[in-house]
Chain A
């Protein structure tokens, strides 16, 4: 506050009585000049969307919790995260973090290790569970089929929206691909159990050992007011080239399921894994832990920028070999007739090569080198075989991880489908009223994060549907209005209208790197995840990536640029030549338009593009 100014000079000279003092001595402040009348544009605070928020398939307000962490509000950060993502300890470990690929800091030095911060918050939430109480305030119930990430997410959000939810799970334990498709060195069961427990505590009922279409008719599930189908995709695709029926050529996901159930499936000494996604890499690392020499044959190139690079790097550290830019031509067998072995039973259970005959055993995989062509209009480069570059990878087991198909035969005809997947609207609705779908069963990227994201979208879709059914007037919240940026996933907080984050003049535009003013940033290296030493991690199923310590995690969160959202750095206030910006007592800043001359220095200097210049109001 400026000191109170004396208004009358202390001169008892009778000249003062004339009104003009003997010398030009000041008696008032220039604050009487409304220099704001000079401007023709004016600055406003305008929160925008951080690219990580848009890049997150789950639709998490990443920037929001980074900002809360900056303020030291740890439990509020956890709370904000849990409003959008019920499984942060999971995603912090297994998500391919497209948020980090979108992170603007990557252009400055290194992307923020968002996954590590999310994992830290997820683990903290498990350590000290925040009290999210059940809040059953609606009469309707919803049936969720499948307790994988999509189903769990949908159930969680619906429960928080006030519905009664029952989840029907075919396996003896819940989790879906999280349990059976991801080994413990990547996702410990205890972590998964904790996340699921949180969902149970909301009042969600999970009924295991119930396969819809076998133990329970679909029509019975339709007894709920709405249904969410998230049965996943577990049908392993075959090798697709000659020799796919040789003994020892096995479905990769099947192998993993057994490993995660605690079994030690029989496997050769030299294993080739075909494929490059998470399933393939996990097959490789699991096979390694069984003592095999493992080679992965992968169509993609060696690319540290690739989404799954860390998994590939971890596998390489442990001793897995990779043949990049290679594709199988054929599996070749040895000429000996093999003994009938328990392997046959395994094959038979996966419906391969039907039972009776004893096939030849695989001895190797013939592969061809690929080369990448010029980028097409969309920037994609086509891989084509290089003539005369065939090579053989000797192997006595081939694990095929070439993708999985969904089993949707149990769904009524009315549920439209395409190319083996259920067709859905933007908020998860199918062509059958009251039936929604998400996860691997729909045509979306097959990742855990996308599945969780689809579960949230469907929860919103179901809530919208049921409220309409109940006669409520809804404002027609278009999915677009709920998205983080034009291409992001939807925000539950926006749907519910209870976003705890204070936003100033928000617009749904994403901030790109060129919109930032990096002059006010300081270079700082990214904290790398702590890893078990390779020889220890490959020896068993102990969690191999230990993430960051709490201190380092919070420091890493401190590297966040807060793109598009004010974090009270005060750069605008400091650089204003007209002292026209002041702090508000409850946070944020106030521009005095009475004095602001519209120079625009504040907006130009804002490191994170959280301001804009506008002609409005003038």
Chain B
């Protein structure tokens, strides 16, 4: 059924259709509508879940971990400060191999206080071991939320669904909401192989000495490796059932491109528009949208960008002391390409703290890249665009 739905509610619909069993959440702008809608869904019986109204995000993730360890399907949502507060326990979910699903509304991190979008909150959690999927549209948000549970429960790793504050969270778009029965067929009830069970008691998470810790981390990394293929399969199955697919990355007008923009989140939509205009002018400009940031789609990006003369990465984030994070990771991923295939990469910092990334901003990035040309090395790894001097 088609419905006009705000991004936050798209999350709620996804969680409801996925039949989450335990939800623990704490309100924070601009996530609040996610949990308010879920509370309503639980209240009127559309969702038979236990909803724990915890007293902080740290407790939200801890409660999800407990519930997940006991074998149920669990969910939480947060943003910025809330995600940061969860940091310790994000590690616990991943290291504990618990398939928790979390929706983060990308919001700039304080100080100064900001409720508007940028990606530092989720990207600063990139080492916690969570799978991260960055969404461009509300449809993608809903679809990805449901897929996230299947992905998580297959590889036993937690999954973060990421959507931009206000540009997605509070923006309504028409969304095709799948039928419950179809979703049930795609995603049956979770049956955990290992769980807290009084009939088969075990201890989970005990002291791991140097003799064994590394192997457990290796298992975790192996699961991340496996996630590439699992995502592909899940994406494929979704396409077969529901006619939509997203992939780990998506190339747009990349054939013969001389410059490829690399984007994520809603910036992608604006970039598509700019690419269309370039192509209309006869300029060979393309776009690669990165959807899955963890595990980093190295192989796919190498495949997509090998031989492309120039790449302009638009980062709505900054790792202080280094550069934009997508740019940094991309540079590392492409480093091992033979030099003649290795693109020149410009990293642009745009839209921090919710500053609008307009077509003009993207055009400026493209211009700087054009002017620089494919041969010279960038003077800085990060070029800030759209800032007042």
Q: Is the CB of A23 within 8 A of B203?
A: no
Residue of B nearest to A5 (CB): B201
Pair count A-B, CB < 8 A = 52
Q: Is the CB of B193 within 8 A of A11?
A: yes
B194 CB contacts on chain A under 8 angstroms? 9-11, 23, 25
B96 within 8 A of A: yes
Q: Is the CB of A26 within 8 A of B203?
A: yes
Chain A interface, >50% SS class:
loop
| Binary contact readout A5-18 vs B (1 if CB under 8 angstroms, 0 otherwise) | 01001111101001
Residue of B nearest to A23 (CB): B97
Given A11-B193, A12-B193, verify A22-B203 contact (CB < 8 Å). Answer: no
Q: Is the CB of B219 within 8 A of A24?
A: no
B179 within 8 A of A: no
Shortest CB distance A502–B (Å): 38
B389 within 8 A of A: no
A-binding segment of B208-216, B237-245, B347-355, B370-378: B208-216
Q: Is the CB of B193 within 8 A of A25?
A: no
CA A25 – CA B222 in complex, angstroms?
18
Given A6-B200, A11-B193, verify A22-B216 contact (CB < 8 Å). Answer: yes
Q: Chain B: how many interface residues by the 8 Å CB criterion?
A: 21
CA A176 – CA B205 in complex, angstroms?
82
Identify which of residues 147-162 in chain B touch chain A, using a CB-to-CB cut-off of 8 Å.
156
Q: Is the CB of A23 within 8 A of B96?
A: yes
CA A22 – CA B212 in complex, angstroms?
11
Q: Is the CB of A23 within 8 A of B193?
A: no
The 8 Å CB contact of B222, one of A12, A15, A21, is A15
CA A13 – CA B194 in complex, angstroms?
10
Shortest CB distance A52–B (Å): 50
Residue of A nearest to B204 (CB): A25
| Binary contact readout B195-228 vs A (1 if CB under 8 angstroms, 0 otherwise) | 0000010111111100010011001101100000
Q: Is the CB of A24 within 8 A of B193?
A: no
B207 CB contacts on chain A under 8 angstroms? 24
The 8 Å CB contact of A24, one of B205, B222, B223, is B205
Residue in A12, A22, A25 with the greatest tally of chain B CB atoms within 10 Å = A22
CA A19 – CA B208 in complex, angstroms?
14
Q: Is the CB of A15 within 8 A of B219?
A: yes
Q: Is the CB of A13 within 8 A of B193?
A: yes
Residue of B nearest to A27 (CB): B202
B200 CB contacts on chain A under 8 angstroms? 6, 10
Q: Is the CB of A20 within 8 A of B219?
A: yes
A interface bracket (residues with beta carbon within 8 Å of B): 10 to 19
A15 CB contacts on chain B under 8 angstroms? 219, 222
Shortest CB distance B355–A (Å): 42
B203 CB contacts on chain A under 8 angstroms? 25-26
CA A461 – CA B271 in complex, angstroms?
117
CA A10 – CA B200 in complex, angstroms?
9
Shortest CB distance A452–B (Å): 63
Given A11-B193, A11-B194, verify A20-B206 contact (CB < 8 Å). Answer: no
Shortest CB distance B96–A (Å): 6
Q: Is the CB of A20 within 8 A of B202?
A: no
CA A26 – CA B196 in complex, angstroms?
12
| Binary contact readout B230-268 vs A (1 if CB under 8 angstroms, 0 otherwise) | 000000000000000000000000000000000000000
CA A588 – CA B190 in complex, angstroms?
51
Q: Is the CB of B193 within 8 A of A20?
A: no
Shortest CB distance B190–A (Å): 15
B215 CB contacts on chain A under 8 angstroms? 18-20
Residue in A10, A12, A23 with the greatest tally of chain B CB atoms within 10 Å = A23
CA A12 – CA B200 in complex, angstroms?
16
A11 CB contacts on chain B under 8 angstroms? 193-194
Residue of A nearest to B214 (CB): A20
CA A26 – CA B194 in complex, angstroms?
11
CA A18 – CA B212 in complex, angstroms?
11
| Binary contact readout B71-110 vs A (1 if CB under 8 angstroms, 0 otherwise) | 0000000000000000000000001110000000000000
Q: Which 7 A-B pairs have the closest CB atoms?
A: A20-B215, A26-B203, A22-B219, A23-B97, A26-B202, A11-B193, A15-B219
B interface residues, Cβ below 8 angstroms from A: 95-97, 156, 193-194, 200, 202-208, 212, 215-216, 219-220, 222-223
A interface residues, Cβ below 8 angstroms from B: 6, 9-13, 15, 18-27
Mind listing 13 A-B residue pairs with CB under 8 Å? A6-B200, A9-B202, A10-B193, A10-B200, A13-B193, A15-B219, A18-B215, A18-B219, A20-B219, A22-B97, A23-B96, A23-B194, A24-B216
